């Protein structure tokens, strides 16, 4: 599939200003229209596909998704978070001016009479709108929902136009770095809990970056653009970053070289301490405030037993404009995992950063942008890169040839002989009423073999077999599908035909929620 | 708030063809544009609201939503259902021709270059598209997701432009009425489980309706329109329905009166049997097929112990075109519940049907509309009216003045004296690591009173109190917030300052997931 149009533009030099991708899209649209016009007889061919950059989740993917969600939500709840939800679209103006250049990637709804609406681009801006609108000044909440970006998707790397975001944020005026440290602790717990291999959490501070630019002689009005060049250090070598600073952004060579020295530094609390003594750096009040906070952060992370994975890294410069303090990003460091997800894809320019699975920071000014009086609500938060994690988990399951169960059925009610539909329906109903997850085939006379095959295919651990003899004896034969062990469930006392008197649900407990068999 | 434009149109008779609602919308749009144009200095006023007909869910609403979901999903899983998910938007043409007149309520996305897209209008059409696209002929799946309709929302009655649907469907070629009966069993289990008061499930069959129309002398080309008039019987008396049939739809008085006799009938298996003997009805092969299936359905429902709530009701005629066999609808019969949800609202025209909380039926032709070769996949399904249920639960919680917990925190780590931040952070971290849901205040020196108040406000049942004495003794004081009982948690062995050696998470189990205190 050709998601990348750029390489093909060359062959079209006779049509300046138009790309092959644009032509493709126009053709697709015209064909779609044609199908609709010609289709009034109800017999036209549908284009059977999902919209570009989107996908269905099949039951196997959903089982993995649920498992990931349950780990993550479990962690958020352990930390006392509430949850909220906001609509999938917002007033267009709510999103205006929040995403800089990326605004062009926002999906707008058609003007059908009424308000101008756009699909949400992230969960942070709706969160800030929610806080300002409801005058909330204190909340610890998570929000897991899909967001929308008209990006050129690279779906083989787990990037889509419709994708989940999974955000945890703490809003409120608190003592320095305590909520910030909890966010990092949460990243630590989640990435450990998901068992994705080793990881590292890089931290830095917007104030340290700004202070560094100042003491290195970057003009004030170039902070943001130089910062976004530094942000590329995880994707390209220093030499190229330096070239961009000097040649494209017009920075002096001296300034670039001084930046180069700082951004190569990595360490822990010791590095923060050293930089506080650094002759140049210590001239910036901003940088000093940031460095003191990094020290405080590490002291809290020690109490949280989380320093093993955290690195103070001066090259970390997350793109988003709204960060005001600490910023962080977690990356998977096991090459294996990162490689799997790029192999299927030709372009390699993003392969280095494939390991990024979480990121966030402090944004003390955003909510104030929505408040009529500009009242600020300090916030710090983290976003878990859940789509990337889904992809990795799916690849892992495939690589291990794991059989992922897509239902939680504990027992299949089957019969060996014909004409026992009523007895099967009655038994399965008793099981449902007792809270047991049970299934029955929707056939009058299914073959025993096909009933057992269904158990094996979908991983149902137990089968309850009804037969003439069992009915006569008033028992049900329970068979463990994997071992073929059988036992006559004597405690299932049957009278008359098969009205079950007592049934102890606990006997099924050991077969509860076996996801992977 | 004025969601209903119709009553106000009269005052505008000098502008034919335009309604006040349309003018309101245009004005809103212009004001929005004005705000954007004038707002480039970054200081303009935002309109702090969600889009018309949508709402945020606050933590309390989310707690109720999660509780409802967990009951419903628990039931679906007990019946062995898988789950899938589809994108929020589909190619526009996927939705074309599926909703008849209601198509005007579909939200389209703006043409930004690329495919023409629309927000999903329900989950059934995406499900059919999914089956056809993946050539799936057998599946039992549920899907809970939001759908979008540009309706005039009546939000006080729990009706929105963005709302959840909650669908369970069984696709596949099976023996008659077995999956159909399971769908009704599921409705029975869910409505019983949610404890919404008494309910009734009305069933009928599209073939019985069509057969009835035929033997009553309704011309073939009037079946659908007469059917949609019958559908209004839950909202208006027979006299008005008859008038519409005769005066507006041009049906003969004799035909209308014959229909009138049939649609007044209600009963169980006996009624189906009687109608099979009915001189007129028995002339229709279609009707007989439907009636035999109703008999079969009741026999299976008897095995499922679900007949107590099920009524065969010949006046039930669900609107959707795609039903081909059995149809059903569940209504709450306790006037109390139904009334609460309409009181807040002036117009009363829909108050009678407010009790409807689930509906569905068999649709054997829909998937074939998507298959290039028209291959059919028989389907039967049910949709739970989950927004209505949310509203009722919210009102119930409010009426009972219940305190709804929005977090699941089991223990708050507090201190009685100053300068114990480090000890608190260390203890809360130990608790998190042991899987216990715990919180700590993000202050260096919070007052004990404010820590205890936080527990009472958010329903945290336990508080672990650290003090100089406890630290010396190597213990933690555990206090039950409600009773103020205290015990020294001796099994929390502390050495040095407060590095905890053993901590038995089971002692917190009794305080687990207490939703309502």
Q: Helix/strand/coil (H, E, C) string of B143-159?
A: EEEEEECCCCCCHHHCC
Q: What is the pLDDT at residue B153?
A: 65
Minimum Cα–Cα distance from A53: chain B residue: B87
Which residues of chain A fall below pLDDT 50? 1-16, 37-43, 336-353, 490-505, 510-517
Residues 157-216 of chain A whose Cβ lies under 8 A from any Cβ of chain B? 162, 170, 172, 174-175, 178-179, 181-182, 185, 189
Q: What is the pTM of this model?
A: 0.84
Query: A479: distance to nearest CA of chain B, Å?
Result: 19
pLDDT grade for B11, boundaries at 50, 70 and 90: very low
Q: What is the pLDDT of residues B297-330, one digit of tens each?
A: 999 999 999 999 999 999 999 876 789 999 999 9
Minimum Cα–Cα distance from B108: chain A residue: A110
A-chain residues within 8 Å CB-CB of B146?
88
Q: Which residue has the tokens 């103070």?
A: A312
Q: Which among A61, A220, A75, A238 has a CA at the least distance from the CA of A144?
A: A75
Is pLDDT of B450 > 80?
yes
Q: Which among B75, B108, B109, B420 is the top mutation candidate for probing chain A, defined by the most A β-carbons within 10 Å of its own β-carbon?
A: B109
Angle, CA of A32, A37 and A40, to the nearest 5°: 120
* Mean local confidence (pLDDT), B230-253: 93
Q: Does A54 touch chain B (CB under 8 A)?
A: yes
Length of chain B: 517
DSSP label at A85?
B
Query: B234: distance to nearest CA of chain A, Å?
Result: 32
CB contact under 8 A, B48 and A372: yes
Does B124 belong to an annotated binding site?
Answer: yes
Q: What is the DSSP track for A445-468?
A: S--HHHHHHHHHHHT--EEEEE-H
Does B488 belong to an annotated binding site?
Answer: no
Minimum-distance CB partner of B81 among A47, A181, A407 = A407
Beta bridge partners, A326, equal A205
Percent of the residues in chain B that have a pLDDT greater than 90, as a whole number: 62
CA distance linking residue B286 with residue B214, whole number of Å? 10
Query: B45: distance to nearest CA of chain A, Å?
Result: 6
Residues 469-488 of chain A whose Cβ lies under 8 A from any Cβ of chain B? none
Let me know: does A228 contact A319? Beta carbons within 8 Å: yes
Q: Which among A513, A235, A439 has a CA at the least distance from the CA of A352?
A: A235
Q: What is the DSSP track for A288-328?
A: HHHHHHHHHHHHHHHHTT-GGGEEEETT-----TT--SEEE
CB contact under 8 A, A305 and B429: yes
DSSP E strands in A149-276: the ranges are 162-171, 199-205, 266-267
Q: Does B308 touch chain A (CB under 8 A)?
A: no
SS3 of residue A325 by DSSP: coil
A-chain residues within 8 Å CB-CB of B373?
none
Cα separation values, B441 from B6, B174, B433, B481, Å:
53, 58, 18, 16
pLDDT grade for B269, boundaries at 50, 70 and 90: very high
pLDDT grade for B512, boundaries at 50, 70 and 90: very low
CB contact under 8 A, A87 and B58: no
Does B322 belong to an annotated binding site?
Answer: yes
CB contact under 8 A, B93 and A39: yes
Let me know: does A93 contact A112? Beta carbons within 8 Å: no
SS3 of residue A49 by DSSP: coil
Query: B264: distance to nearest CA of chain A, Å?
Result: 32
CA distance linking residue A426 with residue A418, whole number of Å? 15
B-chain residues within 8 Å CB-CB of A22?
113
CB contact under 8 A, B111 and A146: no
Query: B460: distance to nearest CA of chain A, Å?
Result: 10
A-chain residues within 8 Å CB-CB of B57?
84-86
Indicate whether this complex's ipTM tops 0.85: no
CB contact under 8 A, A83 and B305: no
Let me know: does A413 contact A466? Beta carbons within 8 Å: yes
Query: A162: distance to nearest CA of chain B, Å?
Result: 7
Q: What is the pLDDT at residue B403?
A: 83
Let me know: does B351 contact B338? Beta carbons within 8 Å: yes
Query: A85: distance to nearest CA of chain B, Å?
Result: 5
Minimum Cα–Cα distance from B148: chain A residue: A88
Q: What is the pLDDT at residue B342?
A: 40
Neighbours of B91 (CB within 10 A): 22
Is pLDDT of B484 > 80?
no
Query: B287: distance to nearest CA of chain A, Å?
Result: 24
Minimum-distance CB partner of B51 among A45, A115, A429 = A115
Phi-psi region of A501 (alpha: psi -120 to 50; beta: other; left: phi over 0): alpha
Minimum-distance CB partner of A425 among B22, B48, B304 = B304
CB contact under 8 A, A442 and B172: yes
Q: What is the DSSP track for B354-419?
A: GGEEEEEEE-SSHHHHHSTT-----EEEEEE-HHHHHHHHHHHHHHTT--B-S----EEEEESSSS
Minimum Cα–Cα distance from B56: chain A residue: A86
Length of chain A: 517
pLDDT grade for B168, boundaries at 50, 70 and 90: very high
Q: What is the pLDDT at residue B156?
A: 56
DSSP label at A416?
S
pLDDT grade for B353, boundaries at 50, 70 and 90: very low
pLDDT grade for B18, boundaries at 50, 70 and 90: low
CA distance linking residue B425 with residue A373, whole number of Å? 35
Lowest average pLDDT, out of B64-78, B121-135, B397-411, goes to: B397-411
Mean pLDDT over each residue of chain B, to the nearest integer: 83
A-chain residues within 8 Å CB-CB of B115?
25, 28-29, 32, 51-52
* Mean local confidence (pLDDT), B76-99: 94
Phi, psi of B486 (to 5 degrees): -125, 150
Does B122 belong to an annotated binding site?
Answer: yes
Starting from the edge strand earliest in sequence, which strands make up the sheet with B476-480, in order? B438-440, B411-415, B462-466, B476-480, B486-489
SS3 of residue A312 by DSSP: strand
pLDDT grade for B337, boundaries at 50, 70 and 90: very low
Is pLDDT of B515 > 70?
no
Let me know: does A52 contact A161? Beta carbons within 8 Å: yes
CB contact under 8 A, A87 and B54: yes
Angle, CA of A25, A31 and A34, to the nearest 5°: 145
Chains A–B, number of C-beta pairs less than 8 Å apart: 299
Residues 76-95 of chain B whose Cβ lies under 8 A from any Cβ of chain A? 77-94
CA distance linking residue A142 with residue A127, whole number of Å? 10
Q: Which two tokens stand for residue B360?
A: 């569905």
Alpha helices per DSSP H over B104-197: 124-133, 178-194
Cα separation values, B269 from A252, A317, B124, B201, Å:
90, 72, 30, 14
Residues 430-449 of chain A whose Cβ lies under 8 A from any Cβ of chain B? 432-433, 435-439, 442-444
Residue of B487 and B478 predicted with greater confidence: B478
* Mean local confidence (pLDDT), B37-48: 54
Let me know: does B21 contact B11? Beta carbons within 8 Å: no
CB contact under 8 A, B39 and A305: no
Q: What is the pLDDT at residue B41?
A: 46
CB contact under 8 A, B93 and A55: no
Minimum-distance CB partner of B303 among A116, A182, A426 = A426
A-chain residues within 8 Å CB-CB of B52?
114-115
């Amino acid at each position: 599939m050709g998601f990348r149009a750029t390489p093909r533009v060359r062959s079209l030099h006779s049509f300046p200003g138009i790309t092959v991708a644009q032509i493709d899209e126009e053709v697709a649209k015209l064909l779609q229209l044609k199908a609709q016009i010609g289709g009034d007889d109800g017999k036209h061919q549908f284009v059977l596909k999902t919209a570009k950059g989107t996908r269905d989740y099949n039951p196997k993917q959903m089982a993995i998704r649920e498992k990931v969600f349950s780990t993550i939500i479990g962690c958020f709840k352990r930390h006392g978070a509430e949850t909220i939800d906001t609509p999938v679209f917002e007033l267009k103006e709510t999103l205006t001016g929040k995403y800089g250049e990326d605004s062009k990637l926002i999906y707008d709804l058609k003007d059908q009479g009424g308000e101008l609406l756009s699909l949400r681009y992230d969960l942070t801006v709706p969160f800030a709108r929610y806080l300002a609108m409801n005058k909330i000044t204190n909340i610890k909440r998570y929000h897991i929902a899909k967001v929308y970006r008209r990006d050129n998707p690279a779906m083989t790397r787990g990037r889509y136009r419709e994708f989940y975001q999974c955000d945890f944020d703490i809003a409120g005026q608190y003592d320095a770095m305590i909520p910030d440290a909890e966010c990092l602790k949460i990243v630590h717990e989640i990435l450990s809990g998901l068992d994705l291999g080793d990881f590292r959490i890089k931290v830095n501070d917007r104030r340290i970056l700004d202070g560094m630019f100042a003491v290195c002689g970057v003009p004030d009005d170039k902070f943001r653009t130089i910062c976004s060049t530094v942000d590329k250090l995880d994707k390209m070598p220093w030499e190229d970053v330096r070239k961009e600073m000097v040649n494209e952004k017009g920075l002096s060579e001296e300034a670039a070289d001084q930046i180069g020295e700082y951004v190569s530094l990595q360490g822990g609390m010791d590095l923060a301490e050293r930089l506080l003594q650094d002759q140049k750096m210590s001239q910036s009040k901003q940088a000093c405030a940031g460095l003191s906070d990094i020290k405080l952060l590490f002291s809290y992370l020690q109490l949280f037993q989380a320093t093993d994975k955290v690195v103070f890294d001066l090259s970390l410069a997350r793109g988003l404009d709204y960060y005001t303090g600490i910023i962080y990003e977690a990356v998977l460091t096991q090459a294996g995992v990162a490689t799997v997800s790029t192999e299927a894809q030709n372009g390699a320019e993003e392969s280095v950063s494939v390991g990024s699975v979480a990121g966030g920071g402090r944004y003390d000014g955003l909510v104030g942008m929505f408040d009529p009086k500009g009242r600020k609500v300090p916030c710090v938060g983290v976003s878990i890169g859940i789509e990337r994690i889904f992809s990795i988990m799916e690849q892992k399951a495939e690589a291990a040839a794991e059989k992922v169960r897509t239902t939680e059925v504990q027992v299949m009610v089957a019969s060996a002989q014909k004409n026992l539909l009523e007895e099967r329906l009655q038994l399965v109903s008793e099981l449902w009423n007792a809270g047991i997850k049970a299934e029955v085939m929707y056939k009058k006379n299914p073959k025993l073999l096909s009933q057992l095959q269904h158990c094996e295919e979908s991983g149902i651990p137990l089968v309850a077999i009804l037969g003439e003899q069992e009915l006569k004896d008033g028992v049900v034969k329970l068979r463990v599908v994997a071992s073929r062990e059988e036992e006559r469930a004597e405690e299932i006392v049957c009278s008359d035909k098969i009205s079950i008197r007592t049934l102890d649900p606990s006997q099924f407990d050991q077969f509860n929620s076996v996801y992977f068999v």
